[in-house]
Structure 1
Amino acid sequence: MLIKSFVKVDHIRRTSALFSYQVFSALCLYLISGLDCARADSEYETWKQQQSQEFSVFQTEHDRAFLNYLEKQWEEFQVFTGNVRDVVPKIKTPPVVRNDQATTQTAYGKQVNPSKSLVTRTYNTVNEGVGFFGHATSPMTFPVNYQEFIDLSTVNSQRLRKVWEQLSKIDHKSLISLIQQQIKQLELGDWGSVQLIKYQLKQQPFSESQRQAYTWFLLNRLGYDIRAGYTEQEVVLLMPTEQEVFGKDFTVIEGKNFYFDREPLRSTISTYDSTSTPDQQPFNFSLTNIMKSSPQVTELSIEYAQKPKSLRLILIFDAGLSSFLASYPQIDLHWYFETEPQFPTSDSLITQLRPIVANMPDRDAINVLLHLTQNMFDYKTDQDQFGEEKYLLMDESLYYGINDCEDRSIFLAWIFRKLLNVETIALDYPGHVALAVRTKVQPGDDSIHYQGNKYVVADPTYINADLGTAMPKFKHLEPKVIPVTY
C-alpha cells in the first residue's frame, strides 16, 4: 500500500510539474509573441513614415506653397465668347465669270470662253496609319491609376487641391521624360504636346474629369502656365498664349486672356490667378512646329475637264496631319501665309504641276494654276462647313475638298511662290481674301500698289476669272496687305 501510494503521489507531482512547465512555456511564447507584434507594429509605422517622407521628397517647396494657395484662393471668372477675326460675312456663293465678260488665255495659246470646269475628285487611302494621328507611340504608364485617383464625379476646389497633393507626392520624373521624348520624336509644338498627353490618358479608363486634372498637373510639370477651372460637372483647362486665338471662349486673369480647351457649360467658371511655379511659360500656337509628317497618307485623283485639254493630277497628302489640325486653335491669318506644306504634300504638288506649266510665259502659267484652284474645290463658308471660322492649310484643303476664299488663297500663294517664283501678297478685304502677284501689268488689269511696286489681282474664288480680274464686289475697296513669306 505504501509503495502504491508513493507511486501515485510521484505521478501526480510529475504531472503537475509538466503542466506548470507547459503553462510557463505558453506564457513565455505569448509574451515573446506580444513583443514581436509590438515590434512589428512599430516597424510598420516607421516604414510608413519613411515612405511618406520619401513621397514628400518629390513634393517641392513650390508644390507646398501652391497647395496652401489652392486652399482658399479660388474665384469665379466670367466666360467671354471667342473673338471673331473678320465680322463681315463671306459670300455664300462664289461668282462665275460670264461668257460675255472675259475670255481665258489658256496654257496652249488659244482663247476659249470660260465656263465652269468639271472636276472629279477620287480619294484612295494609301496608308491608314495607327495611334496618334497616324503615328505609332509607345503606351505610357501613369504612376497613379484610375482606381487610386481622386474621385472627380463632382468637382470642387478641394478635390482639385487633393489631386495636386496626391500627384505631387509621387515620382513622375520617368513619365515626364517619356512625354518629352515622344514630343521630340513627333516634332510636336505646344498644341501637339497637349493632345499627346490627352491621347495617352485616353488609353486608360480614367474619367474625363480625371484626365483633365492629370493633364493639368503634367503640363505644369512640363513648364507650361496652365490653370484648372471647374464647374460642378467638369474640369476645364485655361491656357495663356503668345498669339491671339480666335473662336475660343476665354476669361481674363490679371489682364491676360486665358483660352479654354473646351467650351464651358456655364457663363462663369471657378479658377485661381497664380502659377504653380514662377518660371512657367505661355503656350505658343504658331504654326512653326505642328507635327512630324505622319504615315497616314491619302491619294487624291483629280480629273479637270478644262478645254482644250483635260488635266489629271494624282496628289498625295498627309491625312493624319489634317485630322490633327481639325482641333488646332485658330490664330491670325498671316501665320497661314508663312507655313509651308510638309512631305509628301509639297513634293506631290510640285511633281504633278511643274510639267503642266513648264516653258510657259508667266501670265499663261499663272492663269492655268489660278483656274485650277478656282475649280478643283467645292465652296462653302467656314460657318456652313464647320460652324465656326477655320483657316485651312494645304493638306486640309486637299483632305476636305471643300474650302473658302482664305483657304484657296493660302493654297495658291504657296504654288505661285514655289512653282513660279513670283512675288505674291494676300489681299485681306472685309469678308473676303484674294491674292495679287508681281508681274507685268496689262491694260485693263485690276492691280494695287504695294511698297513701290504694282501687283496684279489673282482671285482664286472668282470662278474662271483671269489674272487681273477682281471680284466686282471688292474691286474698289482698299484691302489690308498680308505679305506671303513661304
Structure 2
Amino acid sequence: MKKSIIFLFISVFFFVSGLNAQVDDDFEKFKKEYEQGINQLKQEYKKFVEQADKEFADFLKKDWEEFQLFKEMKPAKTPGPEKLPVFDKITNVIPTKQIAIKKIEGINQTENFEMKPRMPIPVEVSKEDKLKHRFITFNFYGSVVQIVMPPEMCEDFNLSVSEKNIANYWEKMINQEYNELISQILKLKSDFNLNDWGLLELTKSFTQSVSTNKNTQRLLQWFVLTKLSYKTKVGYKDNDIY
C-alpha cells in the first residue's frame, strides 16, 4: 500500500512537471510570435514613412505654384444713401446724477515674495547620447526647457533659396534620428497642456534657440510641425523663406 502511494505521488509529480513545461513552451512560442508580429509592423510602418518622405521630397523639387501674398481688396459697390444724415443735438435731457462711491477701508499690508526661477524640465539621456547630441536650452514663458537633438539638425541653411535646396534640406532632415525630438516636443505639449497655438509658440522659441538664421528657423519649424502631423506650407520670395 505504501509503495502504491509513493508510485502515485511520483506519477502525479512528473505529470504536473510535464504540464508546466508544456505551458512554458506554449507561452514562449506565443511571446516569440507576438514580438515577430510587432517587429514586422514596425518595419512596415518605417517603410511607409520613408516612402512618403521620399515622395514629398520629389514633390518639393518640382516647380512651385506662385502665390499672391497681398491681394488688393476692392471696396463694395453697394448703393448708399443719397444724402448723409445730420446729427441733431438732443434737448431737454435730464442730467445724470453722480453716485457717491463709498471708500472701503482695508488692511494696507504688503509682503515681500521672493521669485525663484523654475528648474529646467529634466530630459533623460544616456551617456552615449550625450556624446552625439546637442542640448538646446531656452526659456518658454518663465520655464527653462531643454531639448536634445542630433547636431546635424542644428546646421544652418546657408544655401540660396530654391525648390531644389529646400527639397535637399528635407531629405537631409528625414535621414536624421528625428523621432526622439518629436517625442520630446509632444511630451512638452502635454506637460504644459498646450493647445495648437501654444505648440506653435513652443516650436518657434525652440527653433530661435537653435539658430539665429531666419531661414533655418522657419525651415526647422516647418519640418517639426509637419512631423507633428500639421498641414504646414513653406514658401519663399527672393532669398527669404516664409
Which TM-score applies when normalising by structure 1? 0.28
| Aligned counterpart in structure 2 of residue 104 of structure 1, from 98, 103, 116 | 98
Cα distance, 1:210 vs structure 2: 0.8
Which TM-score applies when normalising by structure 2? 0.53
1:180 is aligned to 186
Instruction: Provide the alpha-carbon RMSD of the alignment.
Output: 3.2
Question: What is the rounded CA distance, in whole Å, between the counterparts of 2:101 and 2:191 in structure 1?
Answer: 44
Q: Percent identity?
A: 24
Cα distance, 1:207 vs structure 2: 1.6
Question: What is the rounded CA distance, in whole Å, between the counterparts of 2:101 and 2:71 in structure 1?
Answer: 48
Question: What is the rounded CA distance, in whole Å, between the counterparts of 2:113 and 2:187 in structure 1?
Answer: 29
Which 4+ stretches in 1 moved above 4 angstroms? 56-59
Cα distance, 1:128 vs structure 2: 7.8
| Aligned counterpart in structure 1 of residue 55 of structure 2, from 41, 49, 65 | 65
| Aligned counterpart in structure 2 of residue 135 of structure 1, from 124, 143, 157 | 143
Q: Determine whether 1:164 maps to 2:170.
A: yes
Structure 1: gaps spanning 5 or more residues: 1-55, 84-99, 109-123, 237-486
Q: Which amino acid aligns with 2:179?
A: K
2:65 is aligned to 75
Counterparts of 1:83-482 in structure 2, within 5 Å, are 101-106=95-100, 108=102, 127=115, 131-147=139-155, 149-152=156-159, 154-205=160-211, 207-236=213-242
Question: What is the rounded CA distance, in whole Å, between the counterparts of 1:229 and 1:189 in structure 2?
Answer: 25
Task: Decide whether the 8 Å contact of 2:153 with 2:173 is kept in 1.
Answer: no
Question: What is the rounded CA distance, in whole Å, between the counterparts of 2:182 and 2:170 in structure 1?
Answer: 16
Change (3 A) 1:165 1:82: farther
Cα distance, 1:204 vs structure 2: 2.5
Q: Deviations 1:194-228 (Å, cap 9, x if unpaired)?
A: 22112122223352101110110110000100001
Change (3 A) 1:126 1:235: farther
Cα distance, 1:190 vs structure 2: 1.0
183-192 or 200-209, larger mean C-alpha shift:
200-209
Question: What is the rounded CA distance, in whole Å, between the counterparts of 1:212 and 1:82 in structure 2?
Answer: 27
Question: What is the rounded CA distance, in whole Å, between the counterparts of 2:72 and 2:222 in structure 1?
Answer: 22
Structure 2: gaps spanning 5 or more residues: 1-45, 74-93, 103-111, 119-138
Question: What is the rounded CA distance, in whole Å, between the counterparts of 2:150 and 2:214 in structure 1?
Answer: 15
Q: Which amino acid aligns with 2:167?
A: R
